[in-house]
Amino acid sequence: MKKDYLFFLLAAAGLGTAPAAQAQSFTKANQYLSVGANLSAFNYFGDLTPRVSFASVRMAAVRPGFGFHVTQRLTPYVSVRGALSFGRITGSDQQAAGKEAAYRYYRNLNFTSNIQELSVVGIFDLVPNHSQAVNRMPIVPYVFGGIAGFHFNPKGTVDGGTVPAGLKPDAQVELQPLRTEGRYYHRAQLAIPFGAGVRLKVAKNMDVGVELGWRKTFTDYLDDVSTTYVSMAKLSTPAARYFGHSITRTDQDTPAQMDVPGALRGSSAQKDWYITTGISVSYILKKQMKTNKFR
């Protein structure tokens, strides 16, 4: 009985030390660093997509982006990546809805915004690499999630409606300073980036990747549209009155009470999102190994 008990303790100790031994075998020599760049496509979900639905994406609204990243391998499964990305998002009632969708058609809003994003995410590889970079698997699927800070600046294009003197057709105007809904919002915001991708080993020190990522933001003003129309008295400039009211199409079919104060201009039920799809190239930096010197 004592021998069986002793055997059980030794076996349990052996199982307990196996993960520790495996972790120790993943030395600093395996914690490689890589740098890279990517090209991506940006799209957004909000009040100016075809439908107020998370799955509603208009392909014609896709805009290009690019970025740079640095990735540090920490464990066989986990890496951390810092990235700086640049892109553009856009939306338009004219493009998203025909006259059969009367509210959207007559609302006639539009926006374009550049996005600058700085992110830090954790990457979890579904296929581990317990060795050095040169021995990594040829195909590695992964998931990621983290935190990002970004800056946006929605601009509206003068197009349709009743254009006041001083505004030229097709001119672009920054919307945030106009307070088109009588509210102020910050153009620097936080987001939660998450998604999935696949890395392909194309050379000893080079990977090519494909990635799809979502950004959950905490603002409903990526498109400058969120709540209700306000009275003209609260809009202090011709540009504010135009983008806050007069851009609305008017004809014999315009819905009654379309843009009166308090009428819905957007939906604040959901925050805005933006989505990125991209390809990347990463170069793994060679690790300088220290050698012992004999005296």
> What is the pLDDT at residue 249?
84
> What is the pLDDT at residue 267?
87
What single DSSP character describes residue 237? S
**SS3 (DSSP) at 284:** strand
> What is the pLDDT at residue 205?
93
Q: Is 28-284 assigned to CATH 1.10.1370.20?
A: no
95: which 2 tokens? 């493009």
> What is the pLDDT at residue 294?
47
- Beta bridge partners, 262, equal none
Which stretch of DSSP H or E encloses residue 277?
strand 273-284
What residue spans define the domains of the chain?
28-284
Residue-by-residue pLDDT tens, the chain, 295 positions: 445 444 434 443 443 444 444 445 567 778 899 999 999 999 999 888 865 555 556 677 889 999 999 999 999 999 999 999 999 999 998 876 555 577 888 899 999 999 999 999 999 999 998 888 888 899 999 999 999 999 999 999 999 888 998 899 999 999 999 999 999 999 999 999 999 999 999 999 999 999 999 999 999 999 999 999 999 999 999 999 999 999 988 887 787 788 889 999 988 888 999 999 999 999 999 765 554 554 4
* Residue 124: partners with Cβ closer than 8 Å, 6 or more residues away: 77, 78, 142, 143, 144
Distance of CA 109 to the CA centre of its chain: 23
Report residue 18: phi and psi, to 5°: -60, -50
Dist. CA 147–CA 255, nearest whole Å: 42
> What is the pLDDT at residue 290?
52
Q: What is the DSSP string of 167-234?
A: --TT-EEESGGG-TTS----SEEEEEEEEEEEEEEEETTEEEEEEEEEEEES-S-TTS--SB---GGG
Report residue 276: phi and psi, to 5°: -125, 140
Dist. CA 224–CA 185, nearest whole Å: 9
Provide the sign of the torsion angle of the four alpha carbons 212, 216, 221, 226, taken in this order.
positive
Closest to 95 (Cα-Cα) out of 82, 74, 109, 75 = 109
Find the angle CA(228)-CA(104)-CA(169) to the nearest 5 degrees: 90
pTM for the structure as a whole: 0.84
